[in-house]
Chains A and B, each alone.
Chain A
Amino acid sequence: MFFAHHIILWFLSFSAKTEPISSQPFLNAAAGVGGVAAAILKSGFNSGNGSTKVCMGRRNSSSNPSPRIPSHHSSSSSSCSGQLLSFSSLFLFFYIFFANSKPFQILAPRIGYLPLLAPLIKPYFSSTLPPGVDTIWFDCNGLPLKWYIPTGVLFDLLCPEPERPWNITVHFRGYPGNVLIPCEGEDSVKWSFINSLKEAAYIMNGNCKNVMNMSQSDQLELWHSVMNGNLEAYQRVSSKLKLATVDDEYASLCLQKSQQSVIETDLPAQAKTGRVPVRLYVLSVSKDFDDLDEIPRVDSWEKISYINRPVEIRKEDKCFTLHDALKILLPELFLDESLMNVKLGGVDLEDAVRNSNEDVTSVKVVEDQGQNVCKQPEACRISSSAKIKLIRIQGIEPKLEIPFSWVANNLLNPDYFLHVCVCVKVAQ
């Protein structure tokens, strides 16, 4: 029996809760990216404990509806992703437990990976380590943590009520090879990252040549920039990859409305596929709850569905929202009212699900006094017993009607994947 050395990493996490916006179209938030990011950054660092409420969307002093065309429309993805990274590379404060020893406090980047912390953690406990080879791994309440999932995603998934600090346990022996794939330190994490990047490149560009053809030094620089949270270096190298980002659909729609003509998208050298790399983590609970701390702790990865599937943004006359994206990824949870009626008429439910999978129903856009507003989605339920309770991306809880293109342009991880955590209450 080896000692389980507990290192406590304090997770200082802000949780940005969206406040209900009744009169203001949520789309204004897309325009206020800079403002939102700045607000989150400030409040995240100022608050030492407790959750931070951040309003998604600008607070106008007047009650007039905001202008349709955003004053700040960022057509260049780099400035958006710049804000993205400075926002998402916020550090999570960990409290790492290691048997009987004083807990180790550390700030870990959201966009990083746990094994990369080993060089910081090991020296702290080297005196208490028994002789032999160490293979580091972590657990949270007994659940071994998958090391290839970004740190922030693990936190969003496993801590619905954000713990501050996040208490996790580090181990140096007894690697659970039946649950976790082997990790040989930094190299394994790096290759996992590069493979994800290749996959994302394939999804966005239709091929992964740009990643495959990266020079050794570029590859190393990119990896080091991720390891160290060096935004400048990351942007410098990643921009060489020319990974096609998605059109900012809201802005295109606005321009389209005003100019009454079809907008030619500005295509980069590579063809844009319009596909967004998504990794969806679904935690299912059987009992409904009102408070996040009622969600039972995850004790097994069996309770979490992992869906690695690109989402194609459909260019239609209406805004493609986060809700639409979820409908594609989790068709089992969404059934049209009409299909529900069909079901009552005796049609096989499976057929209905299959149909809804293939012809994705779109969210109706309601013209509201000249403004382009995405309709508030119906409650997402397959019946009264299944519904989405929580969605978290980069620690924030976006509203379902947010334009998916905004999410795709601003909430990606450095591997160019959108990692989305969802909590679903299902019938049991």
Chain B
Amino acid sequence: MMDVLHWDGTLSAKDFRIGAFAFAQKWESRNLAFPPWSWLPCPKHPWLAPPKEEGYLSLEKICISRPNEEEDIDQISQIDTGEEETCCSGNEDVLDDATLVQSNHHELHYCDFQIVYSSTFRVPVLYFRAYCSDGRPLPLDEIEKELPACSSKELSKKKWTFITQEEHPYLKRPWYKLHPCGTAEWMKLLFLSDNANPKFEVVLELYLLSWFSVVGQVFGLRISFKISD
């Protein structure tokens, strides 16, 4: 088994799949405010059915609008998206009548998230796109307004290195992504920082959860968990 002390913070494609399922499970059991993540197969070739073992995680229509500066996103009750959606949404869904605890004088903004494995960096990458309730896509400067203050500061400092816009590897539409080049390093630190020497299986179980607890904060998404669990 892999010795975590010599681990470089990265995952193989196979491990990503294991980690993704573990993450989706934990997410569902701990985060009642959010819908579950869906595992979708990666469409590789138009003439071939997508291989089952290669896929990505998708979470759609998360409201990122901040009612006021202090409140965290997880306080807001979630728009009910109902049944599992396919990966090619972005269509103009009629807004559900679910209640929202906030003033309505400004339009609601939503975000789709995807966790995609990068074979270059060998880590998960967070892709996202934001839109209004009528489906109109939001450009980055609009999205920035919804982010917690520290994120926008970081964004403005080194905009191009932090968030990049590129074509989604599978959906072939413009998406934004959080650049993954530092991920392996801080993931390694996360697991080795408190002198613990966990087994790799444990690391794998918690990898995506830990990872998301960091990247989710860009959007003010907080999830609760403890590594020692």
Interface set of A (CB-CB < 8 Å, partner B): 146, 148, 177-178, 181-182, 191-192, 195, 198-199, 202-203, 207-208, 212, 277, 282, 284, 286, 301-303, 305-310, 332, 350, 353-354, 426-428
Contacts and interface: CB of A to CB of B under 8 A. Distances in A.
A305 B51 CA distance: 14
Nearest to B43: A305
B60 to A, nearest CB: 18
B119 A305 contact: no
Nearest to A177: B174
B47 A428 contact: yes
Interface string B11-55: 000000000000000000000000000000000111110011100
20 contacts: A148-B166, A177-B174, A182-B165, A191-B164, A195-B164, A199-B120, A212-B161, A212-B181, A277-B120, A282-B45, A286-B47, A301-B172, A303-B46, A305-B45, A306-B169, A307-B44, A310-B120, A350-B52, A354-B53, A426-B48
Contacts of B179: 195
Contacts of B48: 332, 426
Given A306-B169, A307-B44, A354-B53, 14 more contacts: A181-B165, A181-B166, A181-B174, A195-B179, A198-B181, A203-B120, A207-B181, A277-B120, A332-B44, A332-B45, A332-B48, A350-B51, A350-B52, A354-B51
Contacts of B52: 350
Contacts of A199: 120-121
Contacts of A208: 181
A195 B164 CA distance: 9
B174 A182 contact: yes
Contacts of B53: 354
B46 A302 contact: yes
B118 to A, nearest CB: 9
Interface string B102-121: 00000000000000000111
Contacts of A202: 120-121, 181
A203 to B, nearest CB: 6
B120 A178 contact: no
Interface of chain A, main secondary structure: mixed
Contacts of A182: 165, 174
A212 B164 CA distance: 15
5 shortest A-B CB distances, which residue pairs? A181-B174, A426-B47, A309-B119, A305-B45, A284-B47
Contacts of A301: 172
Contacts of A309: 119-120
Contacts of A282: 45
A181 B47 contact: no
Contacts of B166: 148, 181, 192, 195
Contact of A305 (B46, B120, B121, B174): B46
Contact of B169 (A177, A207, A212, A308): A308
A265 to B, nearest CB: 20
A171 to B, nearest CB: 18
Contacts of A350: 51-52
B145 interface: no
A289 B45 CA distance: 20
A332 B59 CA distance: 29
B169 A305 contact: no
A427 B169 contact: no
Nearest to B173: A178
B191 to A, nearest CB: 19
Contacts of A178: 173
Contacts of A284: 45-47
A254 to B, nearest CB: 32
Contact of A353 (B51, B160, B169, B174): B51
Contacts of A191: 160, 164
Nearest to B168: A181
Nearest to A199: B120
A353 B49 CA distance: 12
